[in-house]
Structure 1
Amino acid sequence: MEWFGRKRTFGVCVLLTACFIFIQFFARSLPVLLVGELLGGLVLGTFAVIAPTYASEVCPVPLRGFLTSWINLCFVMGQLIANGVIAGTSQLSTHWAYSAPFASQWFWCLIILIGWPFAPESPWYLVRKGRVEDAERALRRLASAKIDVKPTLAMIIETDRLEYELEAGSTYMDCFRKINLRRTEIAIGVYSIQVISGIYLVGYATYFFELAGLPTTKAFDMSIGFLALGFVGTCFSWVLLLHFGRRVIYNSGLALLVVLLIIIGILDCVPNYSQRFGVIWAQSILMCIWNFCYDFSVGPICFVILCEVSATKVRSKTIAVATAVQAVLGIAMTIAIPYLINPDEANARGKIGFFFGGLAAIALVWSYLRVPETRNRTFEELDIMFSRGVATKQFKVYQVD
């Protein structure tokens, strides 16, 4: 992204995705399918970096929270669409049962490529490359004709100059230098909390509901409702962003997750659990409420904070580092969760709530102490505040001279 720009990098990644789908679509053996999945997964990781970086750089400060939190909604919508496609092809007895879901991905590649030429390059990237006139043209495309983009351009240039003076740097090593270390820690922390608070349970929703004792059809219906509540939750986060700060929403939501997970664990300890269908339904409904709370707080607000705490010069690299750490934790959870919930292994069932509830409680303590309020702050103001070592609780009221 730093060599070729956000737009070109994104376009190439979409083309590569379309190409790798061919491997998955025509795979008739596990080794070929694995190769296609691995190559596709490598490119998929780039979208997790490009999307928040680009979103935070092409919108004005008042809209920054809404656009960056939209990323979480895209994840939820993708899961809903995937469930719908798989439900429609699961009864097929030919290779189309798995080939059709792969083929459906080409539709989205086509839609994106049609709209790609109309997307402007990031003005922040253009300023850093010395292309000030191109940056101004990009800003004019992003704003209405009545808006004077000169002040915004001047702010971008000044922020770039300030970060140069602060020696923020532009390499991966610079993410861990003293000037950026606190910002990198917060970025890694808020992204990793998505994993340790239990988000990977979403992929096992149907299986978990079956283990809880629900019939297969009811379990699948519940998993759809589970994701639908996530969609509503993300939309609700936009309402909250209008009235509350990022820190308040994130920490309050995380606290609710801790409480819900612990209650889910306690319900699993009820005597004769398997015979108490009221308890089973209560536990399943609490799982859906948990997903709603996650998707109005930790899910979308993570991306808002992730984009706002990182310095503009190393934003893409900070997000890449945070994504890598989150992915490593995700791999660990992908291995651990099946072991924890499978009846022939740990058979923890809903007691897994104690595991994730405990981790989320530890994360809440860290978040309360370390995650600052970044609402309505320009990137220049955030640079100054982090460089001055402003205390976490002072970010909301600190006056930048």
Structure 2
Amino acid sequence: MAVDMEKTEHTHEVEHDADAVFAEKAGVADYKADAIEAENAEHNMTVLEAVKAYPMASFWAFVMSCTIIMESYDVFLIGQFMALPAFVDKYGIINPATGEKVIATKWQSALQVSGQLGALIGVFLAGPLTSYIGYRWATLFALMLLNAFIFVFYFGDSLPVIFVAQLLEGLPWGIFIANAPAYCSEIVPIQLRAPATQMLQMFWAIGSIIVGGVTYHYQFFTSSAAYRVPIALQWMFPTPLALLIWFAPESPWWLVRKGRLDEAAKSVQRLGRKTQVATGETVAMMRRVIEMEKSVKPPSHIELFKGTDLRRTLIVCGVYAAQNLTGNLIANQAVYFFKQAGVSTDLAFALGLITSALQWIFVMLSWILTTYYGRRSIYLWGSAVNTVLLVALGIAGSVGGGPAASLAQASLGLIVSVLFTLGPAPASWVIIGETSAIRLRPLTTGMGRATYYIVEIPCIFLASYMLNPTGGNLGGKCGYVWGGTGLFCLIVAWWGLPEMKNRSYREIDIMFKRRIPARKWKETVIDVNDDE
């Protein structure tokens, strides 16, 4: 009798286990079917339909992108201080060749590099911090830090103190610049990833426009207000943005990674219209990708350099590094470049303001280009045109002096700065937001931006030396140098940059795992049922 009871219990256990396995398979099948339906729905949306379905996603991407204004504002502000008469009179030294005051080359380079050194530290903090507490809380923390560090900059009264102030301000910049492209790419559907991440370049241009207008007004002031007021205006940004971001939804992708599926569903509901977005199916699509990338280990920087993630890391780092090697530093030092090209101070500040305004317009034009022509083609063609123009700038700087040569250099410098924001710059932000694996995204964007700063720091010293009258005094001839580095970046991008337009994160994961060559991505078809 006891034996029969044991057999019966064993039979029930087997049946129970079989039922559990069957239920699990059925659940996986249902969840995959929902995921496929959500992915197909995103693929079939037009850009306008995506905006209508996810209006609040567009709004919150806009808000998060505003954090970039602060780094842009200060980067351009320090660059323009090099040409601001009151600042130069206070902190400059006499140039023996001309008898005029200039900021010493070492301090010119140091001040422009100090914020980037702080940001380099900030981006390494951003990855682990965001992975642990999320995009929302990490950004709020950085905004409060920036509020405090602006005090150091405002009350600083020597070049060493200003250097330290910029270093401190760079810490929150690093968090903003690492988190913003990742957050924007995660909260919007496929068709909106390009305009949502390209907004970052638009707000970079807006920061430079504000600086251009402020410094153009204060260039005539002889008191310390000429540079104190522009510094104080930084306080316009952190607190209002913090109040907005307090109400922002967390990235549903981050919540799914943490297993908080109910909260992820609520986040999706807040990002889209209830009547047009199938919340359960959208979360299922996210779960499918997260399961593909699942690991028993917590995300770490070491993983960025292993297996297929190494290729993804190299693409993000390469695109970031190229921003400093294709003429971007001319844009960051536009006013100072125009002065060294031989134009008057008043015209140099006016051209700087015009450059910033045109950059803003051209970034918006780039939304149309990336929607219809993709990332790879725009990046390559834009980089090619910029390389040719940089060489032309070098030629203009070699043909002798005179008003005509000065205006030619100034004009080409303006064109290079503007066209950079039509092609390579905005396309870069889209590529950065799409390339990394979801699981490693905060770490990858942080590592990429770190590469940007590591490359930028020596480039700033080089750019300052080339332009400064007490240094190389090359003027427009610096176009030869940036043209050469730009050509190198163009060749590397042609070989290694894939086209990710209209690809879901699942498809991107699979294509990297299959090691498909970059030039074959466009024609490669991935079956909607594939789950490798």
TM-score by length of 2: 0.72
8 Å contact kept, 1:169–1:314: no
In 2: Cα distance, 1:211 partner to 1:104 partner: 28
Q: CA deviation at 1:93?
A: 4.4
Contact 2:194 2:430 in 1 (8 A): yes
1:182/1:237 CA distance change after superposition, 3 Å: same
Query: 1:281: which partner in 2?
Result: 407
Confirm or deny: 8 A CA contact 2:212 2:352 kept in the other structure: no
Give the conservation status (yes or no) of the 8 Å contact 1:168–1:180.
no
The alignment status of 1:153 with 2:283, answered yes or no, reads: yes
The structure-2 alpha-carbon separation of the partners of 1:33 and 1:358, relative to structure 1 and needing over 3 Å to count, comes to closer
Partner of 1:363: 489
Are the equivalent residues in 2 in contact too, given 1:169–1:313 (CA < 8 A)? Answer: no
Deviation at 1:88, TM superposition (A): 3.1
Matched, 1:97 2:226: yes
Once the two structures are TM-superposed, the CA of residue 348 in structure 1 deviates from its matched residue by 1.6
2:320 and 2:449 in contact (8 A); partners too: yes
**Distance in 2 (alpha carbons) for counterparts of 1:168 and 1:239:** 41
Post-superposition Cα deviations, 1:224-275, rounded to whole Å, max 9, x if no partner, equal 11222211111110110221010001001000001100111112222xx212
Contact 1:24–1:99 (8 Å) recurs in 2: no
Query: Which of 51, 56, 59 is the matching residue for 2:180?
Result: 51
Q: Tell me, in whole angstroms, the C-alpha distance in 2 between the residues paired with 1:108 and 1:74.
A: 12
**Per-residue CA shift, 1:158-216, capped at 9, x if unaligned?**
00000117x89721110000120110111011111100112111232222222222122
Q: Is the 8 A contact 2:290 2:439 kept in 1?
A: yes
Which residue does 2:146 correspond to in 1? 17
* Pairing partner for 2:393 from 243, 250, 264: 264
- 1:120 to 1:86, Cα distance in 2 relative to 1, 3 A: same
Q: Does 1:189 align with 2:318?
A: yes
Report what 1:325 is aligned to: 451
- Shift in alpha-carbon separation, 1:281–1:27, aligned structure 2, 3 A: closer
Structure 2 residue 361 is matched with structure 1 residue 232: yes
Deviations 1:330-370 (A, max 9, x none): 11011111211223332221111110001100110100010
Change over 3 Å in CA distance of 1:262–1:93 after alignment to 2? closer
Matched, 1:296 2:425: no
What is the rounded CA distance, in whole Å, between the counterparts of 1:314 and 1:279 in structure 2?
Answer: 50
Which residue of 293, 306, 319 corresponds with 1:177?
306
Amino acid in the other structure paired with 1:326: Y
Paired residue secondary structure (1:3): helix
| The one of 234, 241, 253 aligned to 1:112 | 241
Alignment partners' CA distance in 2, 1:94 and 1:226: 27
- Please point out which of 133, 139, 148 is paired with 1:4: 133
> Any conservation in 1 of the 2:197–2:429 contact (CA below 8 Å)?
yes
Residue pair 1:188, 1:321 contacting (<8 A) in 2 also: yes
Q: Distance in 2 between matches of 1:372 and 1:98?
A: 44
Once the two structures are superposed, residues 41-76 of structure 1 have per-residue CA deviations (whole angstroms, 9 ceiling, x without a partner) of: 111111110111111111111000101011111111
Which structure would you say has the larger Rg? 2
Which residue identity lines up with residue 285 of structure 2 in the other structure? M
Q: Conserved in 1, the CA contact under 8 Å of 2:330 and 2:413?
A: no
Asked if the contact 1:123–1:139 (Cα under 8 Å) also holds between the matched residues in 2, the reply is yes
2:216–2:350 CA contact under 8 A, matched in 1: no
Gaps of 5+ in 2: 1-129, 528-532
Equivalent residue number for residue 162 of structure 1 = 292
Paired with 2:348 and 2:169, the residues of 1 have a C-alpha distance of 30
Task: Determine what percentage of the aligned residue pairs are the same residue.
Answer: 33
Task: Tell me, in whole angstroms, the C-alpha distance in 1 between the residues paired with 2:417 and 2:348.
Answer: 15
Q: Distance in 2 between matches of 1:248 and 1:230?
A: 20
Conserved 8 A contact 1:61-1:378:
yes
Encode CA deviations 1:267-307: one digit per residue, 9 max, x unaligned.
Answer: 2222xx212x3333233222222122100111111110011
Question: How far off is 1:91 after superposition?
Answer: 3.9
Whole-angstrom CA distance in 2 between matches of 1:353 and 1:91: 31
What residue is the counterpart of 1:253 in the other structure?
Answer: 382
Instruction: Indicate conservation of the 8 Å contact 2:379/2:424, yes or no.
Output: yes
What does residue 269 of structure 2 align with? 140
Partner of 2:339: 210
Contact 2:375 2:499 in 1 (8 A): yes
Write the distance in 1 (CA, Å) between the matches of 2:416 and 2:281. 43
The match for 1:62 among 181, 186, 191 is: 191
CA RMSD of aligned residues (A): 1.7
Shift of 1:145: 2.2
Q: Distance in 2 between matches of 1:340 and 1:246?
A: 32
* TM-score normalised by the chain length of structure 1: 0.95
Equivalent position of 1:345 in the other structure: 471
- Count of equivalent residues: 397
Q: Does 1:199 align with 2:325?
A: no
Whole-angstrom CA distance in 2 between matches of 1:174 and 1:32: 38
* Match 1:384 to one of 497, 505, 510: 510
Amino acid at match of 2:260: R
